[in-house]
A = this chain, B = another copy of it.
Amino acid sequence: MLIGKTANTNAQWLSERITKLGGEVTRVTIVGDDIRIIGSVLREILRRRPDIAITSGGLGPTFDDKTLQAFSKAFKRPLQISRSALRLVKSKYRRILEGNTQLTPPRLKMATFPLGAKAIPNPVGTAPAVTLRQKGVRFIVLPGVPAELQSIFGQSFESLIRRLSRTQYFYETSLIVWSLLESQLAPMIGRVMEHIPGVYIKSHAKGGEGTEEGNIELHFSAKAAKLKLSRKRILKALTLMSELLGRSMPDNRHPRAGVP
């Protein structure tokens, strides 16, 4: 990922799912296959004390898979074969290989966990996922293959995140505005956010500013204890923004705006 070969689709997928479940993603960090660097990120996470930290990648059988070694070193938990992980790995190879189910070192590696870590079944791939708790932070350690990550997350962690996020509902919509510049929209955005608390409006300039194809996407989002309430706030904000957009044109031409 740090050589630009692969897009970070896992971070985007997880961020979207967690937000929809009412959670809030505060930080994403990408580092390479380096035990020392991964370890220093893990210790930084402990200092920030999030409810949950999710890692992805580095659980496979090859030498470049170093996540569990990094956990072991950073949290001073010795590595040892996890019996439940070993059972999962064995049964996987029994299913996909006939005869060749020998527990070679690369296969044992996938069941070698830091002390106290728990194995979570991987319905798609071979390496089990892992959970462990350190200083009150729940670590969810997922494989990097997107199909595996998504299946394990859906099966084993969505309900946990829904529960921890205390049923906050997230609602979002976008409005595309042509024929105005971002600097002209700025004071209107400020007024709408002032008048309708709980609504967040983020502007994204697309194309070239001031050109024919140039436009601004205004992304409205709100969170509330009820989905209806967050939706209501967004609709109010959209209405007020449309009014301000209409008034902004001296000659009563309404600026072009629409839903993407």
CB distance from A239 to the nearest CB of B (A): 20
Residues of B close to A63: CB separation below 8 A: 186, 189-190, 193
Q: Does the CB pair B61–A183 fall under 8 Å?
A: yes
CB distance from A200 to the nearest CB of B (A): 8
Q: Which among A20-28, A78-86, A134-142, A154-162 touches the partner chain?
A: A20-28
Residues of B close to A183: CB separation below 8 A: 61, 104, 106-107, 110, 126
Interface of A is mostly: mixed
CB distance from A175 to the nearest CB of B (A): 14
Residues of B close to A30: CB separation below 8 A: 11, 27-29
Cα distance A35–B34 in the bound complex, in angstroms: 30
CB distance from A5 to the nearest CB of B (A): 7
Residues of B close to A97: CB separation below 8 A: 181, 210
Task: Say if the beta carbon of A147 comes within 8 Å of chain B.
Answer: yes
Q: Does the CB pair B8–A8 fall under 8 Å?
A: yes
Counting chain A residues whose Cβ lies within 8 A of the other chain, the interface size class is 35 or more
Q: Does the CB pair B31–A27 fall under 8 Å?
A: yes
Q: Which among A69-77, A112-120, A201-209, A225-233 touches the partner chain?
A: A201-209
Residues of B close to A172: CB separation below 8 A: 3, 5
Residues of B close to A33: CB separation below 8 A: 202
Q: Please, which residue of chain B has its CB at the minimum distance from the CB of A202?
A: B64
Task: Say if the beta carbon of A252 comes within 8 Å of chain B.
Answer: no
CB distance from A180 to the nearest CB of B (A): 10
Cα distance A126–B203 in the bound complex, in angstroms: 15
Can you name 9 A-B pairs with beta carbons within 8 Å? A4-B13, A6-B204, A7-B9, A8-B11, A27-B31, A64-B202, A105-B187, A106-B182, A125-B205
